[in-house]
C-alpha cells in the first residue's frame, strides 16, 4: 500500500524523530472499560431463523400464562423472548444464586433439559400459591436461600408442571415431548445435562402482572436437530382437534334447516315462445318417467330418487346417500343465459 506522505514529508518526519522533536512512542489513551469477547463462541440469536420455534414459544407462553394465572388465582401474563443458541458452558453461567435450577425430562428418547426460575419470581409464585394475594417479594429481597423446604419444592414442582404441560401441547406437532420435572438441583455442577461444548437452545419467558420475573429452559440442540427443517420452515396450521368443540359444533349443525328440492325435468324454449305461453299449454321435459330425479340440497346436487305417490301426496324414494357436489355445469340454473328452464318442485 502506498504511503499518504510523499518522500520529502517522510524525510522531515524521520529527521524530527531523530532530533527528539517528535516522540516515537504511541500516544496515551484514556481508560475505557474492556469487554472480553470469545471469537469462538457460537452464541447467537435465532429469532426469525426458526419461525416454527417462535410460534411454539408463543403458544407455550399463552397456554402457560393463562393456566398459571388460573392455578394461582393471580393476574399473570407470559411473553416469550428471543431464543438463543449457546454452549452449555455458557448456560452454566446462569446457575447462580439468583436462579433456582431444576432438571426436567423431555420424555423417552429426548434426554434432559434445565429449567431456571429467577428467585424473585420463585418467591412470588410460592406466596401466591400459598394464599398471599400480594405475591410480591419485599423490597431488598432479591435472592432466595439456597435450600427450599420440601413443601416449597413440591409447590414449585407442581407450578413448573403447568409449564411442562404447555410445552407438551405446543411441541406435539413437531416432537412428541412429554416433559416432567425430575428434581430441584442445589449444586450447579450437577445441573450439567450435556458436555460443556455441546450446544443448547435457551428459551426464556417473561412473567408479568402480579408476579414478575423470568423462566428459562435450556434444551440440548441435539434433541431438536432431527426436526431442524420443520423448525426453520413457516409454521403450519394446527391439526389438533378439540373434541368438545367438535361435538358442540356437530350438535349445532344437526339443527340447521336446509332447502331440499327435486327436479322433475328441464326444457329450453325461445323467449318468443315464452311470451306466447298460456294456461293449458304443454311443456315437454327432457326426463323420462323411469329415470331417477336429481335431488338438490342448498342448490347442490347431492342425491337421486324415484317419484312415488304416498297417501295421495307426491314423494321421492332415495336411491343413494349424500355425495359430493356435482360439477358446475350440472347444477340447477346452469346454462340459464342460453334459455329458460322449467322446474316443478
What is the average pLDDT across 324-345?
44
What's the mean pLDDT when you consider all of the chain?
80
Q: What tens digit of pLDDT does each residue of 253-312 get?
A: 888 999 999 888 888 999 998 898 899 888 888 888 778 888 898 888 888 888 888 888
What pLDDT is recorded for position 182? 92
Give whole-number Cα distances, 211 to 10, 217, 338, in Å: 68, 19, 72
Residue 49 has which C-alpha cell? Answer: 431463523
pLDDT band at 240 (very low <50, low <70, confident <90, very high): low
Q: What letter would DSSP give residue 328?
A: G
Q: What is the model's pTM?
A: 0.56
Residue 262 has which C-alpha cell? Answer: 327435486
**What is d(CA 4, CA 157) in angstroms, rounded to the nearest whole number?**
69
Q: What percent of the chain has pLDDT over 70?
A: 78
Does the pLDDT at position 144 exceed 70? no
What is the average pLDDT across 78-95?
87
What is the average pLDDT across 173-181?
91
Phi and psi, residue 94, nearest 5°: -85, -5
- Which of residues 233 and 259 earns the better pLDDT score? 259
pLDDT band at 139 (very low <50, low <70, confident <90, very high): very low
Q: What letter would DSSP give residue 97?
A: T
Amino acid at each position: 500500500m502506498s504511503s499518504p506522505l510523499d518522500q520529502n514529508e517522510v524525510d522531515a518526519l524521520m529527521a524530527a524523530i531523530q532530533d527528539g522533536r517528535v516522540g516515537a512512542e504511541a500516544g496515551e489513551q484514556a481508560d475505557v472499560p474492556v469487554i472480553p469477547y470469545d471469537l469462538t463462541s457460537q452464541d447467537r440469536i435465532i429469532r426469525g431463523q426458526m419461525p416454527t420455534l417462535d410460534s411454539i414459544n408463543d403458544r407455550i407462553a399463552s397456554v402457560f400464562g393463562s393456566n398459571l394465572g388460573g392455578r394461582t388465582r393471580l393476574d399473570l401474563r407470559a411473553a416469550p423472548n428471543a431464543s438463543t443458541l449457546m454452549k452449555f458452558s455458557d448456560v452454566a453461567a446462569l446457575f447462580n444464586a439468583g436462579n433456582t435450577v431444576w432438571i426436567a425430562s423431555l420424555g423417552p428418547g429426548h434426554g434432559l433439559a434445565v429449567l431456571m426460575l429467577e428467585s424473585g419470581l420463585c418467591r412470588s409464585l410460592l406466596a401466591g400459591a400459598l394464599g398471599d394475594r400480594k405475591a410480591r417479594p419485599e423490597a431488598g429481597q432479591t435472592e432466595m436461600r439456597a435450600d427450599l423446604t420440601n413443601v416449597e419444592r413440591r409447590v414449585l414442582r407442581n407450578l413448573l408442571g403447568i409449564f411442562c404441560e404447555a410445552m407438551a401441547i405446543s411441541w406435539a406437532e413437531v416432537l412428541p415431548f412429554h416433559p416432567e420435572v425430575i428434581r430441584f438441583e442445589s449444586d450447579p455442577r450437577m445441573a450439567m445435562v450435556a458436555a460443556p461444548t455441546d450446544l443448547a437452545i435457551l428459551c426464556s419467558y417473561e412473567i408479568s402482572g402480579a408476579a414478575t420475573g423470568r423462566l428459562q429452559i435450556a434444551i440440548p440442540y441435539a434433541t431438536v436437530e432431527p426436526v431442524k427443517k420443520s423448525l426453520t420452515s413457516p409454521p403450519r396450521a394446527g391439526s389438533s382437534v378439540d373434541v368438545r368443540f367438535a361435538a358442540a359444533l356437530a350438535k349445532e349443525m344437526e339443527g340447521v334447516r336446509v332447502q331440499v328440492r327435486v327436479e322433475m325435468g328441464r326444457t329450453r324454449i325461445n323467449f318468443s315462445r315464452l311470451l306466447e305461453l298460456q294456461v293449458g299449454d304443454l311443456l315437454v321435459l327432457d326426463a323420462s318417467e323411469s329415470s331417477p330425479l336429481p335431488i338438490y340440497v342448498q342448490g347442490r346436487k347431492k342425491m337421486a330418487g324415484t317419484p312415488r305417490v304416498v297417501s295421495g301426496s307426491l314423494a321421492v324414494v332415495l336411491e343413494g346417500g349424500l355425495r359430493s357436489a356435482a360439477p358446475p355445469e350440472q347444477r340447477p340454473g346452469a346454462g340459464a343465459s342460453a334459455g329458460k328452464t322449467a322446474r316443478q318442485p
